[in-house]
Structure 1
C-alpha cells in the first residue's frame, strides 16, 4: 500500500505510485434548481425545476512505477421541467414555452492510461496525465404541451471520444487522495437518432475536436491507493 511519508514503508525517490498499486475511487455530483417567476435577460417569468446527477467510479492498476491502466465508468441523469417561460426578444418578437419535460440518461465506459509526475521528492503531491478512450451513449425524451396538443421526441445517441486530462493528486492520509483534473485535448464522434411522435425520424452525425482547456470538464474526486 502507498505510505505517504510513512515509516512502515519507504518508497524510492522519484516514485509516487509503485508497481503493483491498486487505485480505486469515485466522483459523485448532484445539483438541483427551482425557479419561480424568475427572469434572466430576455427570458422572463421562468417557472421550472430539475436536477442533474453524475456518478463516475474508477479502477486502475500500476503496471510499472508511476504508470497505471484501468477503467472509468460514467452514468448521468438529467431532468428539466418547464411549466411556463416567456421569451421577450423585442416589442415585435416574443413567444411562450409551456409544459416542457425532458429526461436524459447518459452512460459510458472509458479505458484510461495514467502517468504520474512526482513534485520533487514529495510522496504526497504529484501531477498526472490521463489518456482516455471513451465509448458511450445516451437516451432522452422530450414532451411539449398537454392533451391533444402533446408532442414527444425520443432520441438515442452513440458516442466515441479520445482525450487527455491532466490533473493534480494530493494525499490527505496514507491511503486516501483528492484528485482534480481538467480536459484539455479531445476528439469526439457522435451519431444521434431521433423519432418525433413515432412518425418523423431523423439522424445527425457530428465530429468535433477540442484543443483548449475546457473549464466545464473540471473533475473533482476521491481515490484510494491500496
Structure 2
C-alpha cells in the first residue's frame, strides 16, 4: 500500500509541476461540449503468504490473484462536464492451506467473478492553460452482480459453497488525466467516498441456505481500488 501511495503522489506531483512549468499547446485537448471519449483501465492485485497468522486460523500457504477490467465510453454535454456508462468485469482466485486454532488443516480453494454497470457524471478541472493536465472527479451509480464457489477439503471430506451476490451503491473515483499525445491520455483513479449495499445468498453442502444483507459507508480514499488506464478523446 505504501508503494501505491508513493506512486500516486509522484504522478500527481509530476503532472502538476509540468502543468505549471511547461506550456505545450500542441497535444492539449480542450474538454468542450460535443467531445466523445472512451477509456480502458485495469487494476490488479496479488498476495502470497506463508505461515501467516490470522485471528482464527494460520495460512500455511496462500496464493491470491485478482483483476478488474473496465471500459468507460462517454460524451461531454457541457464544457468540462461529461456523462457516460462504465462496464466492469472482475475475477479473483484464492488457493490456500489453512490450520484452524484447534490444529485442523484444510485445503481451501475459491474463485469469484463479477460484472458491474456504472453510469457516471465526470467533472474535468484543467490545470494550467495547456489543456494537457486535468483533475477528474467521476461520481457514479454502481450496480453489480457476481457469483463464486469455495471448496474446502478437511480430512478427505469435500465441502462446496456457492454464492450469488447483488451489489449497488454510489461512489466517487477522483484522479488525474494527462494527455501524452494529441487526443490520447493516461488516467489514474482511486476509490473514495462511497456508500453501498450488498446482498449475498449461499448454498453449502450439508448446511441450510443463508442470506446476508450488509451496508457500507466509506469516507476515505481506498488505495486498494487504484486503477490505471488510457483514454481517447475525439
TM-score by length of 2: 0.80
CA distance in 2, matches of 1:28, 1:209: 24
In the other structure, the counterpart of 1:40 is 52
Gaps in structure 1 of 5+ consecutive residues: 88-92
The structure number with the bigger radius of gyration is 1
Of the three residues 100, 113, 135, the one matched with 2:108 is 100
RMSD over aligned Cα, in angstroms? 2.4
Equivalent position SS for 2:187:
strand
Residues 157 and 45 (structure 1 numbering): CA distance in 2 closer, same or farther, change over 3 Å? closer
Q: Name the TM-score, length of structure 1 as normaliser.
A: 0.82
Offset of 1:122 from its aligned partner? 2.7
Q: In the alignment, what sits opposite 2:86?
A: 72
Following TM superposition, the consecutive aligned residue runs of length 4 or more in structure 1 with deviations greater than 6 angstroms are none
Q: 1:45 to 1:58 in 2, by over 3 A?
A: closer
**Which SS does the other structure have where 2:103 is aligned?**
strand
| CA-to-aligned-CA distance 1:96-138 (integer Å, 9 cap, x gap) | 4422110101110000101111113131101121110011021
Cα deviation, residue 53, structure 1 = 2.5
Unmatched runs of 5 consecutive residues or more in structure 2: 1-23
- How many Å separate the matches in 1 of 2:124 and 2:168? 25
Q: Quickly say closer, same or farther: Cα 1:22–1:213, change in 2 above 3 A.
A: same
Query: Is the Cα–Cα contact under 8 Å of residues 106 and 154 in structure 2 kept in the other structure?
Result: no
On the 8 A contact 2:195/2:218 being kept in 1, the answer is yes
* Cα deviation, residue 212, structure 1: 1.8
> What SS does the aligned partner of 1:121 have?
coil
Q: Give how far 1:30 is off.
A: 4.2
For structure 1, which segment, 108-117 or 147-156, has the greater mean C-alpha deviation from structure 2 after superposition? Answer: 147-156
